[in-house]
Amino acid sequence: MTETPNETPDNAPQPERFNQARAAQAMAVLEDYAEMIGDLMDEMGEARITDIAARMGVTHPTATKAVARLKREGLAMSRPYRGVFLTEAGVALADRVRGRHRTVVDLLIAVGVPAETAELDAEGLEHYVSATSLAAFEMFLANSAARS
């Protein structure tokens, strides 16, 4: 191997922004599952693989794999044939995701997107909203409310 330390790719414009988007995308699925498990725990007291799969619109093996990944990331715990539970970190993530989702939906509505579309689009958008943008959204919403 020639010593090719992963230095800056080269003098290209900014390919990093794509990598950043790709990284966010990797996290997106985890976030969705964590949020879903949080919802199920709130509603039913526990999250079962079948329910998670049904809600996510996937088959149980797929849900199992996702849960395995959540466990690997320290976001969830589960014992064989028992329900799935979120760790403290998982709960924190779920809460954060939920809050962000609401903010995104509210912002979309605030700029004139129909409520239904806002919900639908937010599902895809939310994972790509940076903390900076989220803060801006909240400020914008606060100002809008105050001005109305």
Partner DNA sequence: ACACAAGTGTAGCCAAGGCTTTAATTGGCG
Partner DNA sequence: CGCCAATTAAAGCCTTGGCTACACTTGTGT
**By CB under 8 A, what part of segment 39-78 binds a copy of itself?**
43, 51, 54-58
Task: Compute how many residues bind a copy of itself; rule: CB under 8 A.
Answer: 46
Residue entry with tokens 């693989």? 49
**What does 96 bind: DNA, a copy of itself, none (CB cut-off 5 to 8 Å by kind)?**
none
Q: Which is nearer to a copy of itself, 25 or 74 (CB)?
A: 25
Quote helix, strand, coil % in the chain, to nearest 5.
Answer: 70, 5, 25
Residues 6+ apart with CB under 8 A from 105: 115, 118, 119, 122
Among 20, 50, 130, 144, which residue interacts with DNA (rule: CB under 7 A)? 50
Instruction: Tell me, residue by residue from 116 to 145, as one string, x for binding to a copy of itself by CB under 8 A and - for no binding.
Output: -xxxxx-xxx-xxxx-xx--xx-xx-----
Residues 6+ apart with CB under 8 A from 35: 93, 94, 97, 98, 101
Please choose, out of 56-64, 89-97, 108-116, 117-125, the segment that lies near DNA by the rule CB under 7 A: 56-64
Task: Compute how many residues bind DNA; rule: CB under 7 A.
Answer: 30
Beta-bridge partner residues of 86: 76
